[in-house]
Protein backbone atom coordinates (compact mmCIF):
# COMPACT_ATOMS: atom_id res chain seq x y z
CA UNK A 1 0.00 0.00 0.00
CA UNK A 2 1.07 3.56 -0.71
CA UNK A 3 -0.11 6.68 1.12
CA UNK A 4 0.04 10.09 -0.50
CA UNK A 5 -0.40 12.92 1.98
CA UNK A 6 -0.45 16.58 0.94
CA UNK A 7 -0.86 19.66 3.12
CA UNK A 8 -2.12 22.78 1.37
CA UNK A 9 -1.67 26.40 2.40
CA UNK A 10 -4.27 28.58 0.70
CA UNK A 11 -4.10 32.12 -0.64
CA UNK A 12 -7.72 32.69 0.43
CA UNK A 13 -8.46 30.98 3.73
CA UNK A 14 -12.21 31.57 3.60
CA UNK A 15 -14.60 28.73 4.49
CA UNK A 16 -15.98 28.91 0.93
CA UNK A 17 -12.58 28.20 -0.62
CA UNK A 18 -11.85 25.42 1.85
CA UNK A 19 -15.22 23.80 1.18
CA UNK A 20 -14.75 24.13 -2.59
CA UNK A 21 -11.41 22.33 -2.44
CA UNK A 22 -12.83 19.59 -0.24
CA UNK A 23 -15.77 19.15 -2.59
CA UNK A 24 -13.53 18.92 -5.65
CA UNK A 25 -11.24 16.37 -4.02
CA UNK A 26 -14.15 14.25 -2.83
CA UNK A 27 -15.72 14.38 -6.30
CA UNK A 28 -12.96 11.99 -7.42
CA UNK A 29 -14.07 9.24 -5.02
CA UNK A 30 -15.30 6.23 -6.94
CA UNK A 31 -14.31 7.70 -10.33
CA UNK A 32 -10.63 6.68 -10.40
CA UNK A 33 -10.13 2.91 -10.21
CA UNK A 34 -6.58 3.08 -8.86
CA UNK A 35 -7.58 5.46 -6.04
CA UNK A 36 -8.42 3.06 -3.24
CA UNK A 37 -9.47 5.68 -0.69
CA UNK A 38 -9.41 9.44 -0.20
CA UNK A 39 -9.77 11.62 2.88
CA UNK A 40 -9.83 15.40 3.08
CA UNK A 41 -9.37 17.37 6.27
CA UNK A 42 -10.20 21.04 6.78
CA UNK A 43 -8.17 22.67 9.56
CA UNK A 44 -10.23 24.23 12.35
CA UNK A 45 -7.41 25.52 14.55
CA UNK A 46 -5.93 28.16 12.26
CA UNK A 47 -2.68 28.40 14.19
CA UNK A 48 0.43 29.98 12.69
CA UNK A 49 1.83 26.56 11.80
CA UNK A 50 -1.43 24.99 10.55
CA UNK A 51 -2.00 23.92 6.99
CA UNK A 52 -5.48 24.77 5.68
CA UNK A 53 -6.33 21.47 3.97
CA UNK A 54 -4.97 17.95 4.17
CA UNK A 55 -5.39 15.31 1.49
CA UNK A 56 -4.70 11.63 2.13
CA UNK A 57 -4.93 9.16 -0.74
CA UNK A 58 -4.43 5.40 -0.56
CA UNK A 59 -3.16 3.29 -3.47
CA UNK A 60 -2.26 -0.37 -3.88
CA UNK A 61 1.11 0.48 -5.47
CA UNK A 62 3.45 3.20 -6.63
CA UNK A 63 2.30 2.47 -10.16
CA UNK A 64 -1.31 3.19 -9.17
CA UNK A 65 -0.21 6.51 -7.65
CA UNK A 66 1.50 7.38 -10.95
CA UNK A 67 -1.70 6.54 -12.87
CA UNK A 68 -3.70 8.77 -10.53
CA UNK A 69 -1.30 11.68 -11.11
CA UNK A 70 -2.22 11.82 -14.82
CA UNK A 71 -5.81 10.56 -14.65
CA UNK A 72 -8.29 12.79 -16.55
CA UNK A 73 -10.59 13.05 -13.51
CA UNK A 74 -7.69 14.20 -11.30
CA UNK A 75 -6.11 16.76 -13.64
CA UNK A 76 -8.81 19.48 -13.50
CA UNK A 77 -9.02 19.11 -9.71
CA UNK A 78 -5.25 19.49 -9.45
CA UNK A 79 -5.32 22.53 -11.75
CA UNK A 80 -7.95 24.26 -9.61
CA UNK A 81 -6.21 23.47 -6.33
CA UNK A 82 -2.87 24.76 -7.61
CA UNK A 83 -4.58 28.00 -8.65
CA UNK A 84 -5.82 28.69 -5.09
CA UNK A 85 -2.79 27.45 -3.16
CA UNK A 86 0.11 29.48 -1.92
CA UNK A 87 2.17 26.33 -1.35
CA UNK A 88 1.89 22.65 -0.55
CA UNK A 89 4.05 19.95 0.97
CA UNK A 90 3.72 16.22 0.60
CA UNK A 91 4.87 12.89 1.93
CA UNK A 92 4.52 9.62 0.02
CA UNK A 93 5.30 6.33 1.71
CA UNK A 94 4.62 2.61 1.64
CA UNK A 95 2.66 0.90 4.39
CA UNK A 96 2.25 -2.75 5.35
CA UNK A 97 -1.56 -2.73 5.35
Q: What is the CA radius of gyration of the chain?
A: 13
**Mean pLDDT, to the nearest integer, of 78-83?**
96
Neighbour count for residue 43 (Cβ, 10 Å): 17
**Mean pLDDT, to the nearest integer, of 59-80?**
98
State yes or no: pLDDT of 97 exceeds 80: no
- pLDDT reported for residue 96: 83
Cα–Cα distance measured from residue 38 to residue 4, given in angstroms and rounded to the nearest whole number: 9
Give the global pTM: 0.93
- pLDDT reported for residue 93: 98
Cβ neighbors of 84 (< 8 A, separation 6 or more) are 10, 11, 12, 17, 20, 21
Amino acid sequence: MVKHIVLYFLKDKSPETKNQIKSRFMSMKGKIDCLRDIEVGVDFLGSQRSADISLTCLFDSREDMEKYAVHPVHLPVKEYVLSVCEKSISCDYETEE
